Structure 1
Amino acid sequence: MYGDFALVYDRLMADVDYDAWALHYQALLAQRGVPRGAVVLEAACGTGNLSLRLARTYQLLPSDLSDAMLSIAAGKARAAGQRLVFIRQDMQSLRAHRPVDALVCGCDGVNYLLTPAALSRFLRSAHAALKPGGALAFDVSSPDKLRRVLGGNTQVLRGEGICYIWENAWDEARQQLQLSLSIFDRQPGGQYLRIEEEQLQRAWTRQELEDAMRAAGFADVRCFGNFSMDPPDKQAQRLHFTAIKA
């Protein structure tokens, strides 16, 4: 899964403020009583950008389904002097060697769950992995962002040694965004490696997610807009959710 795309992912995401992401997740978990040093399982960790930051605060168990992403994440952890064990597992069948204090899934991971059944599997496996009273925290790009901001838009971006064309197509019937990327990565000899990447993201409404969380056994479900600790307004581009295992 991802393959060559994993090799250029971090360069495409260079403008993302992962320090801010980590601080916000720490605030969300602290509000739920998760202390420093708690055991936290991370789903869909990708190349580990959020993982390395969360691992400074928690006993982190990062996981992902992509071997290519995990290989890059493990290399970055070694370079940073962090002793992290990365776990290969599907976010729809999460497991830990013992129940954990909290579970996080950042940076749009839940948007890649395309059906109610897939969403339910993620939430039920998250519930099973948590201790009683454990906390769940995740985020999604909002329907407004996927439909209005990204849907139908094409971007052409050029950086040092890399350029890409990013096309988005919105499917109203399926409530899905198709992302098509053509990436040109300059190699040491001057030639360019072309990488084609297709992804689908599902637009989940606040109500759909809250209902699914309760159906999976979670209680005290809360939703926050963007990177605030306030409820979202209609223009919020990102929704963060937290809940407790009942």
Structure 2
Amino acid sequence: MNESYTHFAAVYDELMDDIPYDRYVEMAEDAIGSLYGKRLLDIGCGTGLLSVKFAKKGARVTGVDLSADMLAIAAERAKSLSLDLSFLQQPMQELTVAGPYDGAIISIDSLNYVKKREDVIQTFQRIYDALEDGGTLLFDVHSTYKTDVIFMESPFVFDNGRIAYIWQTDEGDEEHSIYSELAFFVRNENGLYRRFDEVHYQRTFDTYSYVDMLTEAGFAIERIFADWEDEPPREESERIFFQARK
């Protein structure tokens, strides 16, 4: 993991402040039932914001992420709240855990960092193997409309007084993929700004492709909805949610 990602982990929570994590907890409860006592995989858990919310509901949570820096923050967050969570550093397509789990969640387009179709299928297969019979997978991805239209309207700018960024996007090498170049400026206590840069690459697939990949991995599709609402995806939907069962 490069040095810039260390800086990114430190500002991640502040940048994600507008994400309705509580809504994700509600959706997990809708899909799985009461989380109390349930074994959950939080894949792409980042700094553990969602993992902690699941644990507060009584779930036994294992958080998985590729970034050691993100996981260090997640572990410290759980410790500060006296919550017993487990965290593993693994790429999701190489998921290796001791199941069975009652449910698995891949939140906030984390799956879009898996760029190859075969690796997405392998991710689903690894999760399928980790779930008990009847276990649930819930995840969200960028819509193709978002990658192909909305993200192409860059540059985007952000400034909350402490953190500012300029976000430039370019079309990726593969269909429905995007390169993001971000220049961050973080204000120090002395009033001076420190700059660091990030480059991200994400790829999504159309809804039918995800259905095919889930089915190939053995899952049965239960629900597909969009933009945090219990409504079917539309042409201009930005975030697509999938609920599937083993």
- State which of 3, 8, 11 in structure 1 corresponds to 2:11: 8
What amino acid does structure 2 have at the position aligned with 1:99? P
Contact 2:100 2:131 in 1 (8 A): yes
Relative to structure 1, the CA distance from residue 188 to residue 35 in structure 2 (aligned partners, 3 Å threshold; closer, same or farther) is closer
Supply the distance in 2 between the matched residues of 1:38 and 1:29 (Cα, whole angstroms): 9
Say whether residues 1:219 and 2:213 are aligned partners. Answer: no
Deviates more, 1:201-210 or 1:219-228: 219-228
Which residue of 1 is the match for residue 52 of structure 2? 52
Supply the distance in 1 between the matched residues of 2:214 and 2:237 (Cα, whole angstroms): 20
| Identity of matched residues, % | 32
What amino acid does structure 2 have at the position aligned with 1:203? T
- Cα distance, 1:166 vs. partner? 1.0
Which residue of 1 is the match for residue 118 of structure 2? 117
Give unmatched runs, 5+ long, in structure 2. none
Supply the distance in 2 between the matched residues of 1:28 and 1:132 (Cα, whole angstroms): 14
Which residue of 2 is the match for residue 157 of structure 1? 158
- Cα distance, 1:70 vs. partner? 0.3
Supply the distance in 2 between the matched residues of 1:26 and 1:77 (Cα, whole angstroms): 21
- Equivalence map 1:14-163=2 (5 Å): 14-30=17-33, 36-57=36-57, 58-163=59-164
Contact 1:157 1:165 in 2 (8 A): yes
- Cα distance, 1:27 vs. partner? 2.0
Contact 1:152 1:170 in 2 (8 A): no
Contact 2:29 2:35 in 1 (8 A): no
SS in 2 for 1:3: helix
What amino acid does structure 2 have at the position aligned with 1:95? T
Give unmatched runs, 5+ long, in structure 1. none
Supply the distance in 1 between the matched residues of 2:204 and 2:37 (Cα, whole angstroms): 34
Structure 1 stretches of at least 4 aligned residues deviating more than 6 Å after TM superposition: none
Query: Could you give the per-residue CA deviations for residues 18-40 of structure 1, whole angstroms, max 9, x where no partner exists?
Result: 2222222322333xxx7532111
SS in 2 for 1:199: strand
Relative to structure 1, the CA distance from residue 95 to residue 113 in structure 2 (aligned partners, 3 Å threshold; closer, same or farther) is same
Which residue of 2 is the match for residue 195 of structure 1? 196
SS in 2 for 1:230: coil
Contact 1:167 1:180 in 2 (8 A): yes
Query: Could you give the per-residue CA deviations for residues 56-84 of structure 1, whole angstroms, max 9, x where no partner exists?
Result: 22211111111000011111122223221
- Cα distance, 1:94 vs. partner? 1.5
- Cα distance, 1:244 vs. partner? 1.4
Query: Could you give the per-residue CA deviations for residues 221-241 of structure 1, whole angstroms, max 9, x where no partner exists?
Result: 431122123322222211111
Deviates more, 1:21-30 or 1:66-75: 21-30
SS in 2 for 1:242: strand
